[in-house]
Amino acid sequence: MKRTVVFGAITLAGLMAVSAQAKVSEEEAARLGADLTPMGAERAGNAEGSIPAWTGSMKGAPQGLNYGGDGAALPDPYAEEKPLFSITAENVDQYADKLSAGQLALFKLRPDTFRMDIYPTHRDAAYARIEIDRAKWNATRTELANKGESIQNWTGGTAFPIPRDGFEAMWNTRTGGIPNPTQYGEYREIAVFANGSRNMIGNSIQTNFLFADRRNPVGKTETEIGNTLFMTMANRTVPAAEKGNMNLVHDPIDYTSEARKAWTYVPGTRRVRQAPNLGFDTPTGPGGLVTVDDTNGFNGAFERYDWKLLGKRELYIPYNSYAFDDTSLAFDDLLQTGHPNADHMRYELHRVWVVEATLKPGERHLYGKRVFYIDEDSWLISAIDSYDNRGEIYRTGLLNIVYHYAIDGYLARTQFFFDLPAGHYLASRLVNTTSQPIVDGEMKKTEYFTPSNLRRQARR
């Protein structure tokens, strides 16, 4: 079945005509909160009614839900809903125009077990006031710099709520897609191999996203906040043989003036060393099933690819995936050979921006082409298709999305990355046996995220 691309408020011709322009006019910015949502999505639903209009009627935890606050499990506001229908290998051709190439490949790889249960689509979550104000401010002021490798005059929040090219859309995934000031928690990553065996690691993570600090007034930009996008310290807790290994990372806004900085501590050496080349297609995680720049769908420098915004389309993506974080579920319940247990997954139909990244001539990477599907309401990457250098689909990713009541914003939750030829996959950011991270905690001082403190923390 031929796949169609649905264009929203901005047509491809218009995108191409203004791709050199960054900030928009005051007149165009006035669309935010009018025919566009405060984050730049189309407020209206689709013609068929299968995607509703955005309402923003749900702010924080809905009344009647037993929510214990930041760090507690997120109750599911849609727990009583039943699937509208299920997509299986038998009927997948009927829905192929609303599936990614990677999803279609999963049906082909595991025809007997892979299933997508499709639920009603919800667009009722509101945004924090400061995120709305930041997006509005950025719309007429924030610009790309250094050939898209950095942004300037940015006050936090969604940098380009009305994006004009691939760079701007991708920058939104690391600006508007991170409304949480902190991420303090214990996570598990599990590689599930084709033969059913597994490999698990666990890390205690402490991350500060400096531009998401809600104490920063709107209008305060990188000239005052600095060039650091986030700082994170990770302490290995599982397996026992690796316990105490630690990593510290500083990620910049401007990769042309400052590279990513990373340090490691290994208990056997009792030394902190600066880690070289922590980026691009360096394998990472248990089993080495993902690259460093796969995390969150994409991270790091843009320099090896040409980026193109293809427009919008409707796609079935993991959404409102609260059930997968259920603390009563064991990993054996959640993770089957080949793919996560379909009984605990939830998919909805949403509009997504489609960005294509093509490897530049002379550059090297494991992926020759990557296609990113970015949810218009959250600016989170919800699915990724990665192709090898022969043009064959190689890996695909699906990222669960939830609305987090503590911050009035969307967050990416468990992330799945599938190695299609091998039949392996990785599930990362699992919290079922630990707890939900603290996403709006007290920001740690900059001194906490230093090599000297890494050494002190490691020796405690």
275-326, pLDDT tens digit by residue? Answer: 877 899 999 999 999 999 999 999 999 999 999 999 999 999 999 999 999 9
pTM of the model: 0.95
- What is the full DSSP assignment across 302-366? -TTEEEEEEEEEEEEEE-S-GGGG-TT--HHHHEETTEE-GGG--EEEEEEEEEEEEEPTT---S
Task: Work out the mean pLDDT of the chain and round it to a whole number.
Answer: 94
What is the average pLDDT across 10-39?
73
- Main-chain dihedrals φ then ψ at residue 96, nearest 5 degrees: -60, -30
pLDDT per residue as tens digits for the range 383-393: 999 999 999 99
Tell me: pLDDT of 5 over 60.
Answer: no
Q: How many CA atoms lie within 13 A of 166 on its CB side?
A: 20
pLDDT per residue as tens digits for the range 131-144: 999 999 999 999 99
Q: Which two tokens stand for residue 425?
A: 């996959």
Q: Are 178 and 367 in contact (CB under 8 A)?
A: no
- What is the full DSSP assignment across 30-88? TTBTTTB-TTS-BSS--TTSSSPPP---B-SSPTT-----TTS----TTTT---SEEE-
pLDDT at 17: 35
pLDDT at 22: 62
Q: CA quadruple 418, 284, 174, 204: dihedral positive or negative?
A: positive
Q: Which domains does the chain have, with CATH numbers?
A: 12-458 (2.50.20.10)
pLDDT per residue as tens digits for the range 232-267: 999 999 999 999 999 999 999 999 999 999 999 999
Q: Which residues contact 210 (CB under 8 A, 6 or more apart)?
A: 225, 226, 228, 229, 230, 231, 443
Short-list 349, 384, 353, 375, CA closest to 103: 384
Q: Are 306 and 388 in contact (CB under 8 A)?
A: no
Residues above pLDDT 90, as percent of the chain: 92
Tell me: pLDDT of 1 over 70.
Answer: no
Residues above pLDDT 70, as percent of the chain: 95
pLDDT at 12: 41
What is the average pLDDT across 138-158?
97
Distance of alpha carbon 376 from alpha carbon 304, whole angstroms: 25
- Paired with 398 in beta bridges are 383, 416
Short-list 292, 309, 426, 317, CA closest to 367: 292
- Paired with 252 in beta bridges are 228
Tell me: pLDDT of 429 over 80.
Answer: yes
Short-list 381, 32, 373, CA closest to 176: 381
Tell me: pLDDT of 93 over 80.
Answer: yes
If DSSP codes are grouped into helix, strand and coil, which group holds residue 172? helix
What is the average pLDDT across 334-352?
98
Indicate the pLDDT class of residue 268, thresholds 50, 70 and 90: confident
Tell me: pLDDT of 3 over 80.
Answer: no
Tell me: pLDDT of 228 over 60.
Answer: yes
E-strand ranges in 111-256 read 116-118, 143-145, 150-152, 182-192, 198-209, 228-238, 246-252
Distance of alpha carbon 113 from alpha carbon 120, whole angstroms: 23
pLDDT at 9: 36
First to last CA, the chain: 59
**Where do we find the tokens 């405690």?**
460
Short-list 441, 193, 386, 400, CA closest to 296: 400
Burial class (CB in 10 A: 0-12, 13-18, 19+), 73: middle
> How far, in whole angstroms, is CA 342 from its chain's centroid?
21
- Paired with 375 in beta bridges are 352
pLDDT at 254: 96
pLDDT at 221: 98
Q: What is the 3-state secondary structure (H, E, C) of 89-146?
A: CCCHHHHHHHCCHHHHHHHHHCCCCCCEEECCCCCCECCCHHHHHHHHHHHCCCEEEH
What is the average pLDDT across 155-170?
98
Q: Are 224 and 216 in contact (CB under 8 A)?
A: no
